[in-house]
Structure 1
Amino acid sequence: MKMQGLWMLLVTTLLLGCKDQELIYDNMSDNKILHGKVLEKRSKGMTLALTGESRDRYSETIRVSIPDEEIIKLIEEGKSLSVWYDFVRESDPPQTKALKVAIIKN
């Protein structure tokens, strides 16, 4: 009987712990979105000219690496994008890695 109670406690703790991690991740990703126009497309990413609030937070341009080659094929110079990212490396220009990319229809 004691063993069954310990298993129930363990499973409940794990389930509650996973739920909290998902909520933290969702909250962080909502605040980490860049908006801009593609200046230059490269084989593993692009240079993005930032617009709006994104430009106020960082410089005028940022280099964005994209790990998925299929997504890179869909991106064209001059297109407006929203890019979800993990963190920005403070270099010149700043650099980041795209977690998700959305093409904005003009």
Structure 2
Amino acid sequence: MEPYAVVQTGNKQYQVRKGDVIDVELLDGISEENKEVLFQEVLFVFDGEKASVGSPTVGNAVVKGELISFVRGEKVVAYKYKKRKNYHKKIGHRQNYLRVKICDLVM
């Protein structure tokens, strides 16, 4: 089996392999000039032969990624309505994400 890791960012967990492309919530310090993304919260690592489970994180394990682009998610629509009061309100929201390509799993 090929190596993979489970990382946590933005209070969400992602299972990643080298070469995967994932969309994560915006991170501090990432811009068009600084394209390197480091995921320090590695919860689980499988190197092809043995697995390492962190408590809560695996020490010295880092997942390196590269920023591909800034993207926006699908529009989520909320609709407020009060019967017999002629009140209705439509609210839309699109979340901003970073599209990241996983370059390396350092164990």
TM-score, normalised relative to structure 1 = 0.27
More strand by share: 2
More helix by share: 1
